[in-house]
Amino acid sequence: MANSKFEYVKGFEQATDWVLLPSTYVVIRVDGKGFTKFSDAHGFEKPNDKRALDLMNECAKAVLREFPVLLGYGESDEFSFVLHKDATLFGRRASKIISTITSCFTGNYVRLWPQFLPDTPLQYTPVFDGRAVCYPSLKVLRDYLAWRQADTHINNQYNTCYWCLVKAGKSPAEAQATIKGTDTSFKNELLFSQFGINYAQLPEQFRKGSTVLKRPVRAVVKYREDGTPVERDRVQEVVLHCDIIGDAFWQEHQQLLGLAD
């Protein structure tokens, strides 16, 4: 059964084998598909389920181990991964990059689920989508990440108000009507006066999202016979819940990340 007479079909692949522009930062954003339903089906705590967020972070760490990703930023059911502008992963072929990172994230989500939600059996298989966007300069990349982190804050403040009201007995429609179109200070006041919540003291993980990066650490790798530890330089994925909009984060990490125009 000669295969050569069918091989011409391979030629059709070229038309959809898109290449990402060199010398641009590539952001791969992975996003839960239908996660409102998924979080209901698995009884996620509202407005934030720390177990589910920690699971997301662990999946992000796996992506950083597996791929040459500089940085991940996540909130809710989404995670953005940044490839260095000089990254040559898969010859910058878009489908390969998008699909493998989304696959790695999903596979880890399912695999690590029992560690993070041990009492909640997975009802069905979650699905994530992925996309790639190119950002030609560090400035635009930082604006992208600022866009996501500002979104985290806006959503979290809204959701905190909403779920306080609903848990206090309001209907969803009433809760929505109370907060719709209100500004930040109104929501802070509402949380404080009605529910005794100081928004600024809520966990930073909820307010700032999670930034995942690789950091050199001095780690104990074994012990000598006399009990003294043997240390080595290692690279470790760490999760931070800090501001990434201002300059401080970038001044601290820019060199480490090799991020410069």
Give the binding site for a second copy (CB under 8 A).
Answer: 1-3, 6-24, 30, 33, 62, 66, 85, 92, 94-96, 98-100, 102-111, 122, 125-137, 140, 143-144, 146-147, 150-151, 153-154, 184, 245, 261
- Cβ 171 to a second copy shortest distance, Å: 28
- The SS3 assignment for 93 reads strand
Closest C-alpha to 132, from 72, 202, 82 = 82
Q: Which is nearer to a second copy, 141 or 240 (CB)?
A: 141
- The SS3 assignment for 19 reads strand
Q: Which is nearer to a second copy, 137 or 194 (CB)?
A: 137
**E-strand stretches of the chain:** 25-32, 69-75, 78-83, 128-135, 210-223, 229-240
Q: Which is nearer to a second copy, 170 or 254 (CB)?
A: 254
Q: Which is nearer to a second copy, 26 or 53 (CB)?
A: 26
Distance, CA of 137 to CA of 261 (rounded, Å)? 6
Query: Which neighbouring-strand residues pair with 25?
Result: 135
- The one-letter code for the residue type at 216 is P
- Cβ 182 to a second copy shortest distance, Å: 14
Residue 146 CB partners (closer than 8 Å, separation 6+): 244, 245
- The one-letter code for the residue type at 117 is L
- Cβ 126 to a second copy shortest distance, Å: 6
Closest C-alpha to 29, from 111, 185, 122, 135 = 135
- Cβ 122 to a second copy shortest distance, Å: 7
- The SS3 assignment for 243 reads coil
Q: Which is nearer to a second copy, 21 or 168 (CB)?
A: 21
- Cβ 37 to a second copy shortest distance, Å: 13
Distance, CA of 68 to CA of 146 (rounded, Å)? 22
- Cβ 176 to a second copy shortest distance, Å: 20
In this structure, the strands spanning 128-135 and 69-75 are unpaired
Q: Which is nearer to a second copy, 107 or 229 (CB)?
A: 107
- Cβ 111 to a second copy shortest distance, Å: 5
Tokens of residue 101, six digits = 């990172």
Distance, CA of 10 to CA of 156 (rounded, Å)? 47
Q: Which is nearer to a second copy, 104 or 240 (CB)?
A: 104
